Each structure stands twice: as C-alpha cells, then as structure tokens.
Chain A
Amino acid sequence: MADKKQGLIDQKLQDLNNDGIDRRGFLKCMAWAGTGLVWTMRGGIPMSQAFAKETGHHAGKGGDFSFVQISDSHMGFNKPANPDVSATLQAAVDKINGLAKKPEFLLHTGDISHLSRTEQFDNVDQILKSASAKELFFVPGEHDVLDDNGKAYLERYAKNAKGSGWYSFDKNGVHFIGLVNVLNLKAGGLGSLGGQQLEWLEDDVKHLKHSTPIVVFAHIPLWTVYPEWGWGTQDSAQALGYLKKFGSVTVLNGHIHQIMQKVEGNVTFHTAMSTAFPQPQPGKADSPGPMKVPAGQLRSVLGITDVNSIRAPHSLAVVDSTLA
C-alpha cells in the first residue's frame, strides 16, 4: 500500500514537474492530513505540513510564524458524499486548535457556503469562532457568489476589499494577496480575474522588494490543472507575469478538493483539500462532481493526502538568504 502510494507520488511529481528541477531537495510528507494545511514560513519559504498527529510535531517547528489554509466547506451541502459538512468543518477547526504552534491567522480559499445562503454563511462563521486563530481572511468561491454577484459575500467577508473582493496585506515580512477569480465567467471559459483586478495587482506589487516573499490565494487554481473541468484561470498568466521578479511566490488555491502541486521557476502552486467532500482526480470520472465514499471512510478520504513541499534548491536558497 505504502509502495503504491509512493509510486503515485513519484508519478504525480514526474507528471507535474518535468521542468528539469532537481528533485533531490523535495520534502515528501505523506500523512493522514486532516482537512487543511498548516503553512510555516521558514526564512520566507512556506512549507506545508499535514494536520494529523503523526506529523503534528513538525508543524510550526523553527518557523517564524504559521498560518492555516482551509477550503471548500460547502456549508449546506447534504448529499451522500457528506451529509454533515458542519461536523467535518468542526473537525478541521479541532485539528487547528490542536496544533503545537498556534497559527497566527486562517485563510479560507472559498466555497464557504454551498448556495450562498445567509444561514450557511452564519453556520460557518459560528464554527470558525471556535478556531484558535482569531484573524480570518477569505476569498470567494463560485458557490459564495450565486445569484447576487457576490453582494452578500462582500458585505460579510470583504468590506474593505477592492472591486469584487480582492485585497492584500503584510504579515511578518510576507506579502499576502487575495484574488477573486469566480465572477463574470464567460461561456466555455475558465476562472477569470479580469482587467480591473489585474491592473490593481500590477500596482500592488510594483513597489515591493524582489526579496519579499509573496503568497497569493484564490479559489480556482491559478495554473491550468484540467481545463476540461474548468480547473484553471483564463488570465492567470498575466497575473503571474507581475510576480516574476519575486524570488519566492507561493500560490494557494482550493476548488478541486484535493492536493496538487506544481513548481514553475520561483512559483510553487498548491491546491488544498476540502473540509466537505473529495472530488475525483482530473479526468478520472465522468464529471468533477462530489466523490462518494462509504460513510465510515469519509474522513479518511478527506484526510489521506500526499503532501509534498517542493523546493527548488537554487532559486529558493537565494530568497532564504535575503530575508528575516
């Protein structure tokens, strides 16, 4: 079983990473990963860790600070894939609260609700109140902006944001950028940032030092995971173009309810697990709909994830020396 899993990881890495980067530096972390990721900034290099106890002692160790990413809570979903998404979100919060090092804040990368309904947002807010991390940052998923073009989402989660909800902030020398790519989607297309947001982004990073570590978070992947299922963002290349000058860029996404990673130059892309239900691997099912598993296995399917922190030794080493 372990061999098979290792084989899959190797295969995945080979598929995603055939760009000549030395693979010896990879930190491979296979674990029962719970329903979220902890990110530890270590000299400007974000390193992902699984939630579970088996790896919990690594989390936060030696880092300047840590934060937590959760995603795709889909509050209100009640189909067989997971009839109780409140319970699994609560389980994610319990995992966060059990971490050896208290995360400074929490990022939710969208699909907070299933149908953008007030009571669904209320329910999530109530559960997240019990999280040890009191500061919360959100970006919307397409399920959060249904019917009202994101009005209710904006009022609740992004009052001080620009446009349809994008913003940036600085923490411990790291520049965080929350982007919105789930609105004004065109027929036949992928996720979309739009001209106004791209303009803002260009301006937002213009005056930052090249050594500033950048963390970008958005719901739909900012790299093309699988266009047939809409798993990508139409104009992400332009956004990433503005970030080329930076030594360390980490992109955190949700939407696809499974962990995938890719390294492209100085940019590391990660997608997070859902706290609600898993989705199939790209192309491995008729559609990207919820993956049904026996009730007793639900949390293990949500939780079993191969987490790989991938480091490109040379480029990131440079960043490492210019920070802290």
Chain B
Amino acid sequence: MTKKNVWVKGLAMPVMTVMLLVGRSSTVRASDQPAAAAAEVKIDNFSFGPQTLTIAVGTTVTWTNRDDIPHTIVSTDGVFKSKVRDTDEKFSYTFTKAGTYTYYCSVHPKMTGKIVVQ
C-alpha cells in the first residue's frame, strides 16, 4: 500500500514537468506572432489619463475607474460604449482600425479623452 503511494507520487512529478514544458513551448509559439498589445487608461479625479493615448492597430485598451464615483466610457461616434463602471471596475476595447477615436463619460460629459490608433 505504502509502496503504491510512493509510485504514484513518483509518476506525478514527470507528468507535471511535461505539462510545464508543453505550456512553455506554446508560449514560445505564440510570441512568433505579433503579441496582442495592451494599454491602459486610468480614471482619476474625474479625468482620463492619459487624456490622449496613441496605440498600434490591434491594441486592447483597458480603462479602470479609480474614482469613488461611477463613470462611463462612451465613444462620441458610437464606436464603443461601456456600461456604468463603479470604483475599480474596468472596461476594455480592442482597436482594430487606424483612426482617431474621441470619447467621454456620459455621466460627467466634461470628462473627455482620445485614442489615436496608428
């Protein structure tokens, strides 16, 4: 009984190692493609920072609301529109086409920002 347990443990180790190797090699393969780029916009004190963000096509931008008050992220041209985001909630959008995207907070429209996609 005791012997069997040891054997099982011994088997588990190599299995895990193989899994790690597989995981690693798939990561390497993925990096051969252009990596999915990410960028962040923070909402602090009723403003988007940075107010203008320049990114490459394909970049996913994630907004995080760090205020005590809810905000939204709404494209002025109807390209994207978040649900209301309370404290620490996030909204992401992937920009697949070059261009300039202006947006604002529909709750506090004085808050405006711009994403330039090149």
* Residue ranges of A at the interface with B (Cβ–Cβ < 8 Å): 79-81, 114-116, 142-143, 146-147, 185-190, 227-230, 286-290
Contact = CB atoms under 8 A, between A and B. Distances in A.
10 closest cross-chain pairs (CB), A and B = A187-B104, A287-B45, A287-B46, A185-B109, A230-B110, A146-B84, A286-B45, A79-B68, A187-B76, A142-B107
B64 interface: no
A188 to B, nearest CB: 5
A284 B93 CA distance: 34
Contacts of A114: 70
Contacts of B86: 115
Contacts of B103: 187
Interface string B84-118: 10110000000000000011101111101000000
Given A146-B84, A287-B45, A230 B70 contact: no
Contacts, number: 57
Interface residues of B, number: 22
B25 to A, nearest CB: 44
Contact of B68 (A81, A143, A188): A81
B46 A189 contact: no
Which of A81, A116, A185, A190 gathers the greatest number of chain B CB atoms within 10 Å? A185
**Consensus secondary structure, chain B interface:** loop
Contacts of A187: 76, 102-104, 109, 112
Nearest to B68: A79
Given A79-B87, A229-B46, 6 more contacts: A114-B70, A143-B70, A187-B109, A189-B109, A190-B109, A228-B110
Given A115-B86, A147-B83, A290 B110 contact: no
B110 A188 contact: yes
B107 A146 contact: yes
B67 A287 contact: yes
A115 B84 contact: yes
Contacts of A286: 45
B69 interface: yes
B59 interface: no
Residue from B86, B107, B108, B109 whose CB has the most chain A CB atoms within 10 Å: B109
Nearest to A231: B110
A230 B109 CA distance: 7
A9 B109 CA distance: 31
Contacts of A79: 68, 87
